Structure 1
Amino acid sequence: MLVLKFGGTSVANAAAIRQLISILKEKENPKMLVVVSAMSKVTDLLISLYQQAAAQDPAYLELLGQLEAKHMQAIEELVPMSQQIEIKGRIKMIFRELEDVCRGIYLLDELSDCTKARVMAYGERLSSAIVSVAFQHHGLPNVLVDSRDFILTDSTYLNAKVKLPATYKLMQENLPAAALVVAPGFIARSTEGKTTVLGRGGSDYTASLYAAALNAELLEIWSDVDGMYTTDPRKAAAAYSIEELSYEEAMELAYFGAKVLYPPTIAPLVAAKIPLVLKNTFNPGHKGTLISATPAASTQKVKGISCIDHMAVLTVSGSGMVGVPGFAMRLFKAVAQENINIYFITQSSSEQSITIGLSEAEGEKAVEAISQEFADDIAHELLNPVALETPMSIVAMVGNGMVQQPGIAGKAFSLLGDHGINIRAIAQGATERIISVVLKTPDAHRAVNLLHDRFFLAVPASSEAALA
């Protein structure tokens, strides 16, 4: 069994879907399951759709028409005219259903997370139906399934948590035994029967769930880049594709901003020991990046440098923290109750301050939550007012080889200091696999370039050729 996932750019239009079909025809696996994302930009348009409807802006109808035209054009270019009636009818029915949902939002002036998830799910429902029919008409008979029938979640509608044992059981017992199965990514269903979604990028996670449940030999994730890069090519022109990574390295790089892979994707694969390959739909000859439990030995100690922008740094400080049990617990509980994700934590050895990194958009909300929790301590001047700094970035160096190589952190910090870049905070993971620093955003781009040049001086010839 081979599981393949194709992202939004890989199904963006008829030409991209034809390329996808050519890739599948080269495969020799007797059984394949293909997971597809919504067409490129469609999820963003669906979000705009429900926002316009909620704002009682009648322009949502024009946007709905644009979305329908986009999908109809793909059908007209992929399916013979004499055989378009059935699929066009199905797509029109889906759009009339979507129109009814949006009209309800418009008239009721009410928009819940449940309704948002329902609207966002239409992208994958539409793309998978079109891709399945395109496969049929290009010599790839298949069975289309609805992932909502197989992936069971809680009721956190926009970033739902998967109930793994129940999901795996549904997949193992109920998926059709066809040679080729097509499934929409991203979408699922709660135990109450409501549509949920798995978070932006969740189609990768969908594919890894299918791979783990079916004990696949391999998971391939196809996008529009040649695998995972040593750093973001938009920040460092010398960046190149990494040939092999461990699960842990890939997870760290994905978490710290490598957008080619959705971070939760790795976990199901680790448990099932299933390797993952990141490939480029539009450059299928490139070997991409192999992610596995046992990557080939490498002389490169630092495997990649990631950067997350649009961050905020929040600091709680004061003499009232010293030697007080439960202080950190209260701080993190206050943040957790607001569903705020923390990317970075560091504490002074004197216990007089704790610094956390979080999304810039959630900075003010975190300040308010923590200020309320410690209002008495601040009022009695045991704590200073909560400090918030923006805009900030987190730059992280990742690599298993850093464990055995002393001096990497020292070289990095000296390099940044020599170039006048101030480090606001530092954290090193207990595994020594990652070293992360917080910098002011205007310095981050330069820091990434400096670190990349320092640790990736020699670009492999094969990578140079691929980038040319």
Structure 2
Amino acid sequence: MLVLKFGGTSVANPAAIRQLISILQDKGTSKPKVVVVSAMSKVTDLLISLYQKAAVQDPTYLELLLQLEQKHLQAIVELVPMSQQIDIMGRVKMIFRELEDVCRGIYLLDELSDSTKARVMAYGERLSSAIVSVAFQHHGLPNTLVDSRDYIVTDATFLNAKVNLKKTYQNMQVLPKADLLVAPGFIARSSEGKTTVLGRGGSDFTASLFAAGLQADLLEIWSDVDGMYTTDPRKAAAAFSIEELSYEEAMELAYFGAKVLYPPTIAPLVAAKIPLVLKNTFNPGHKGTLISHAPVPTSQVVKGISCIDQIAVLTLSGSGMVGVPGVAMRMFKALALESINIYFITQSSSEQSITVGLAEAEGQKAVQAVNQEFADDIAQELVNPISLEVPMSIVALVGNGMIQQPGIAGKAFSLLGEHKINIRAIAQGATERIISVVLRTEDAHKAVNLLHNRFFLTVPQKPEPALT
């Protein structure tokens, strides 16, 4: 069994879909396959704009709806013979009339719940999978289209739903028996039967769930880049694709900003030891990046450098924290109650301060939550007023090899210090697989380039003087 996921750029237009078809044809028919597809590129953003316009009684949502409909109908015209277009045209138009009814309800009722947002966002994958399935049929790839919502069960969080793995895997045992299945990514259904979505980038996760549920031999994720890079090519022109990574290394790099892979994707693969390959739809000859439980050992100690921008650094400090149990718990509870995700944590050895990194957009909400929790302590001057620093970035060095190699952190810190880049905070995981630093965003680009050059570019050795 082979599971393949194709992202938005891989189904962005008829030319991209034809390339996808070529890749499938080259795979042959020796193994059954599941193809998971995202919405066409930019469609999810347009769907969000659609419900946002409807929610504020902006009648131009109808123009946007027409634009979306024409985009999908044009794809059908270019991919399917005219004599075979009637059925799929009718199905797509019916889906758009359904979407129009939902948006009209939002417009008239002036009400927009998370449940409704998820329902609207789900249309992108429903449409793309239907079109891809029919395109496959007319290019010699007979297939069965399934609705992922019938198999993936989640809670009712709606916009970033948590999957019930046990029920989901049970459901997947009754998938139709076919050599080729086509399924929409990103979408699922709550145990109450309402449409949910798995978070932006969730189509990767969908494919991972199918791979784990069906005990696939391999998962391939196809996008528009040649795998996972040593760092963001937009930040360092010398970046290059990594041949192999462990599950843990890939998770760390994805979490710290490598957008080619949605971070939760790895988890379902780990227990089953299902390897994952990241490939480029538009450069299929490139070997991409193989992610597995036992990558081939290399001499490369640091495997990648990631960077997250738009970070806020929040610090809780004060002499009244020293030796007082429960301070960290109170701080993290206050942030958790506001559903604020923490990217980075460090604490001074004296327990006099705790620093966390979080999304800049949530900075003020975080300050308010922690200030409220420690209001009495601040009033008694046991705790200082909460400090918030923006704009900041987190730069992380990732690599299993750092466990056995001493001095990596020292080299990194010395290099940044030599170039007068101030490090605001430092954290190193207990596994020694990741070393992360917080610094000002204005220094992040320079820091990434310096570190990348230091750990990935070979410095030519000076020739030894000739013997006389």
**TM-score per shorter chain, which class?**
over 0.9
Q: How does 1:191-340 map to 2 (within 5 A)?
A: 191-340=191-340
Q: How does 1:363-402 map to 2 (within 5 A)?
A: 363-402=363-402
Partner residue of 2:14? Answer: 14
Partner residue of 2:73? Answer: 72
Partner residue of 1:462? Answer: none
Deviations 1:28-64 (A, max 9, x none): 3320000000000000000011101111100100000
**For the residues of structure 2 that align with 1:267 and 1:410, how far apart are their CA atoms?**
32
The one-letter code of the counterpart of 1:24 is L
The one-letter code of the counterpart of 1:104 is G
The one-letter code of the counterpart of 2:373 is E
Partner residue of 1:167? Answer: 168
The one-letter code of the counterpart of 2:374 is F
**For the residues of structure 2 that align with 1:234 and 1:30, how far apart are their CA atoms?**
38
**Partner of 1:311: helix, strand, or coil?**
strand
Measured on the aligned residues, the alpha-carbon RMSD in Å equals 0.7
Deviations 1:14-34 (A, max 9, x none): 000000000000113320000
**Partner of 2:401: helix, strand, or coil?**
helix
Give every structure 1 segment of 4 or more consecutive aligned residues whose post-TM-superposition deviation is greater than 2 Å.
none
**Partner of 1:33: helix, strand, or coil?**
strand
Partner residue of 1:55? Answer: 56
Using structure 1 for the length normalisation, give the TM-score: 0.97
**For the residues of structure 1 that align with 2:424 and 2:383, how far apart are their CA atoms?**
20
Partner residue of 1:423? Answer: 423
**For the residues of structure 1 that align with 2:420 and 2:56, how far apart are their CA atoms?**
47
C-alpha deviation, 1:151, in angstroms:
0.2
C-alpha deviation, 1:320, in angstroms:
1.1
**Partner of 1:84: helix, strand, or coil?**
helix
**Partner of 2:268: helix, strand, or coil?**
helix
C-alpha deviation, 1:458, in angstroms:
3.5
The one-letter code of the counterpart of 1:50 is Y
**For the residues of structure 2 that align with 1:55 and 1:432, how far apart are their CA atoms?**
50
Deviations 1:384-413 (A, max 9, x none): 000100111000000000001111100000
**Partner of 1:305: helix, strand, or coil?**
strand
**For the residues of structure 1 that align with 2:63 and 2:272, how far apart are their CA atoms?**
46
C-alpha deviation, 1:103, in angstroms:
0.5
Higher mean C-alpha displacement, 450-459 vs 376-385: 450-459
**For the residues of structure 1 that align with 2:410 and 2:56, how far apart are their CA atoms?**
53
**For the residues of structure 2 that align with 1:447 and 1:46, how far apart are their CA atoms?**
37
C-alpha deviation, 1:82, in angstroms:
1.1
**For the residues of structure 2 that align with 1:329 and 1:30, how far apart are their CA atoms?**
51
The one-letter code of the counterpart of 2:347 is Q
**For the residues of structure 1 that align with 2:439 and 2:62, how far apart are their CA atoms?**
44
Partner residue of 1:157? Answer: 158
Partner residue of 1:439? Answer: 439
The one-letter code of the counterpart of 2:105 is G
* Identity in percent: 83
**For the residues of structure 2 that align with 1:323 and 1:143, how far apart are their CA atoms?**
63
Partner residue of 2:359? Answer: 359
The one-letter code of the counterpart of 1:82 is S
Q: Number of paired residues?
A: 458
**Partner of 2:358: helix, strand, or coil?**
strand
**Partner of 1:334: helix, strand, or coil?**
helix
**For the residues of structure 1 that align with 2:442 and 2:60, how far apart are their CA atoms?**
38
Partner residue of 2:462? Answer: none
C-alpha deviation, 1:144, in angstroms:
0.2
**For the residues of structure 2 that align with 1:359 and 1:385, how far apart are their CA atoms?**
20
**Partner of 1:26: helix, strand, or coil?**
helix
**For the residues of structure 1 that align with 2:302 and 2:31, how far apart are their CA atoms?**
39
Partner residue of 2:464? Answer: none
Partner residue of 1:43? Answer: 44
For structure 2, the 5+ residue unaligned runs are 460-468
Higher mean C-alpha displacement, 26-35 vs 39-48: 26-35
C-alpha deviation, 1:226, in angstroms:
0.1
C-alpha deviation, 1:416, in angstroms:
0.4
**For the residues of structure 2 that align with 1:232 and 1:43, how far apart are their CA atoms?**
24
**For the residues of structure 1 that align with 2:402 and 2:278, how far apart are their CA atoms?**
24
Deviations 1:289-338 (A, max 9, x none): 00000000110000000000011000000011111111111100000000
The one-letter code of the counterpart of 2:208 is S
For structure 1, the 5+ residue unaligned runs are 460-468
Partner residue of 2:23? Answer: 23
**Partner of 1:35: helix, strand, or coil?**
strand
**For the residues of structure 2 that align with 1:377 and 1:108, how far apart are their CA atoms?**
45
